[in-house]
Structure 1
């Protein structure tokens, strides 16, 4: 692989760039098809960039539903029709008669699954259902194992069932809307207001590489944000810049953000 390509990526991404480049090269040169594990949005961006650089491969990203955040990639020689390939995604339904199930959240289900020795890469989106329980998108190769082994989530006994993808109940993303008045569109300024932290305290995690803008590590506190950007801060959550409304008479910028719940 041309080492100059590293210039386009954060150093922490180089290992994945190497893997993705190998998938693309094998599809182009060895005519091998690759179906990946679930990728996060930034990894999907990297695969897209690398695959588009080659005129000899085709690819497809599929997370089980249109709004999926985590997706599997299918990378194949350019003569293959990847739309006909099965992405290998099943729905693991988790339910219980215990009323405590309604108090469980995304982290509870994820923790229970990972405690069984499952790698995060085998798990797609997890949607907590309004009436309790969840639908978890999983790689088909671990479906039966999870169905048999997942019996308890945060001390709540559960029953599991594998469903076809057409029975998946998609997520309805909800936001806590906030109206901000900021001096500039700098990352540190907006993030400090969004997470209710002082400017000094917001600088530490950003400079430590714990902040991502559009799923890419961002260590520059002065990075200007724009409408549509998604910012996540490890340990604090994430938000989207939903609207830049304009400038006040005093020269401040009115911004609307939505914090993910």
Structure 2
């Protein structure tokens, strides 16, 4: 398959990942190699699956540590290799504290603390946050470093330990639901309502490449959203289009969205 055929279905910003993913698939199919990736976001997982489907001699197994995990590690292997017993290489980093202020910390506080230690985002999976701490999924092998270096999360003193994946305490992400009445499903229009910003202010981050729709870079403010889309905008947050409920008598569209909190 030519590179042109591969790239025509993907955003130019995704070229580097497409190159790597296609190499993994080719190595599995033609050299009988097995590859365990770091954590992939759902868009990267989709790209990897679509490439593997074009090669009959390769297979992909995804596992993020829990059912419905957003970020998952992938095993790419020859199609004949049994993968059920393969170690997916995920540990649980338990973050706790005696400080009552830990109940005020959120997903961004914990992720920021981990990234602030120089850990790359792809080494961290989903974060399960509760009032008394966090279970962060991490690739095996970095736990000792984090035990030695992670002492605070957003100015709260914390203690960390590494647990087996079987000890994971799963927390489903919370969403604030709201029903909007919009003229259209344009990205800029819906996002400005969700984040309570003027249409003018929402244009800048979109055009600057700080917006992703279902983990795919989108720089066109007029991009039409659809049910199921997850919109993330750096510095503002994320929301999901839960349901397009239909059109009102005045011709406006009722759409139910959930903003991640």
Same fold (TM over 0.5): yes
Give the corresponding residue for 2:129: 128
What displacement does 1:108 show? 2.1
- Superposition map of 1:72-111 within 5 A: 72-111=73-112
Residues 154 and 238 of structure 1: CA distance in aligned 2, closer, same or farther (over 3 Å): closer
Report the Cα distance in structure 2 between the residues aligned to 1:115 and 1:223, rounded to whole angstroms: 34
What displacement does 1:85 show? 0.7
Deviation digits for residues 24-55 of structure 1, max 9, x if unmatched? Answer: 11111111100001111111111111111110
Give the corresponding residue for 1:232: 232
Long gaps (5+) in structure 2: none
Give the corresponding residue for 2:32: 31
Report the Cα distance in structure 2 between the residues aligned to 1:117 and 1:258, rounded to whole angstroms: 31
Residues 112-121 or 46-55, more deviating: 112-121
In the alignment, structure 1 residue 42 sits paired with structure 2 residue 15: no
Task: Please give the secondary structure, in 2, of the residue aligned with 1:243.
Answer: strand
Long gaps (5+) in structure 1: none
Task: Please give the secondary structure, in 1, of the residue aligned with 2:142.
Answer: helix
Report the Cα distance in structure 2 between the residues aligned to 1:68 and 1:2, rounded to whole angstroms: 33
C-alpha RMSD of the superposition: 1.4
Report the Cα distance in structure 1 between the residues aligned to 2:201 and 2:231, rounded to whole angstroms: 16
Q: Which TM-score applies when normalising by structure 2?
A: 0.95
Task: Please give the secondary structure, in 1, of the residue aligned with 2:8.
Answer: helix
Report the Cα distance in structure 2 between the residues aligned to 1:198 and 1:155, rounded to whole angstroms: 33
What displacement does 1:149 show? 2.6
TM superposition outliers: structure 1 runs of 4+ over 6 Å: none
In the alignment, structure 1 residue 199 sits paired with structure 2 residue 199: yes
Task: Please give the secondary structure, in 2, of the residue aligned with 1:21.
Answer: helix
Report the Cα distance in structure 1 between the residues aligned to 2:45 and 2:147, rounded to whole angstroms: 28
**Number of aligned positions between the proteins:** 260
